[in-house]
Amino acid sequence: MAVSRGGFFLTFEGADGSGKSTQAKRLAATLQANGADVVLTREPGGSIGAEEIRRLLVEGDPGRWSAETEILLFTAARRDHLERTILPALKRGAIVISDRFADSTRVYQGAARADLRTTVDTLHTLMISHEPDLTLVIDIDAKTGLQRGLARNSGEDRFEELGANFQQKLRIGYRALLTDFPDRCLGIDGDNSEDTVAAEILDALKGRLP
């Protein structure tokens, strides 16, 4: 179910290093400059409790959690994010831009890290049960993404450290998403320059935002 009811829920998705965080920030700034009420948020995180869970997820050894435990932690973080940040903002009519949401779990835990899509979907139906109005999937060459991600050296590289093969699986998973949810998901070519990608995104939003 889409959650907008007056507001608009937009998510950015893509592999690590795809540039989605930069583009989410740019878009939020552009819309704000045009007078829109915009809430820019991210997952894992986006609320006080979810940011605490984030640290458990993105730091430490790549094998720290099993895929099943990860799904539970991501879902717990998402539930808090939804209750405390996303739904209240949409209720007052804001545009919510989230850097990642449930599609990340579908792709990372449901396809790339493990083949657990049924578990992911069941838990999503039980605990989240909301979909964005629009999802922009930034597609990028797997090697470029990995290089960009590791170059940041952010100390949050638990997933980047899973390697090139994993990065390729992510790309395939994200492409499958475009076919699974054609009404909601839109692919954006992330291999172009930052300005070109930003322009493509603004173009894609024409006529879709309230």
* CB proximity list for 132: less than 8 A, separation 6 or greater: 2, 3, 9, 10, 11, 98, 101, 184
Considering only residues 32 through 51, tell me which ones interact with ligand TYD, judged by CB under 6 A. 43-44
Q: Interface with ligand TYD includes 58 (CB under 6 A)?
A: yes
Paired tokens of 175: 């492409």
Paired tokens of 76: 């717990």
Decide: 101 and 132 in contact? Cβ < 8 Å: yes
Nearer to ligand TYD, 132 or 149 (CB): 149
Strands (E), 43-139: 95-99, 134-139
Q: Interface with ligand TYD includes 74 (CB under 6 A)?
A: yes
Size of the site for ligand TYD (CB under 6 A): 14
Q: Interface with ligand TYD includes 124 (CB under 6 A)?
A: no
Decide: 53 and 16 in contact? Cβ < 8 Å: no
Paired tokens of 113: 């890290």
Nearer to ligand TYD, 7 or 44 (CB): 44
Minimum CB distance to ligand TYD, residue 5 (Å) = 23
Give dist(CA 55, CA 59) in Å, integer.
6
Asked if omega into 44 is within 30° of 0 (cis), the reply is: yes
Decide: 15 and 102 in contact? Cβ < 8 Å: no
Nearer to ligand TYD, 4 or 167 (CB): 167
Q: Interface with ligand TYD includes 81 (CB under 6 A)?
A: no
Minimum CB distance to ligand TYD, residue 20 (Å) = 7
Nearer to ligand TYD, 93 or 148 (CB): 148
**Residue of the chain from 105, 124, 132, 177 that contacts ligand TYD (CB under 6 A):** 105
Nearer to ligand TYD, 8 or 74 (CB): 74
Considering only residues 125 through 184, tell me which ones interact with ligand TYD, judged by CB under 6 A. 149, 159
Decide: 22 and 200 in contact? Cβ < 8 Å: no
**Residue of the chain from 108, 171, 190, 205 that contacts ligand TYD (CB under 6 A):** 108
Minimum CB distance to ligand TYD, residue 160 (Å) = 6
**Residue of the chain from 16, 131, 133, 200 that contacts ligand TYD (CB under 6 A):** 16
The H-or-E segment that residue 188 falls in is strand 185-189
Minimum CB distance to ligand TYD, residue 47 (Å) = 13
The SS3 of residue 128 is coil
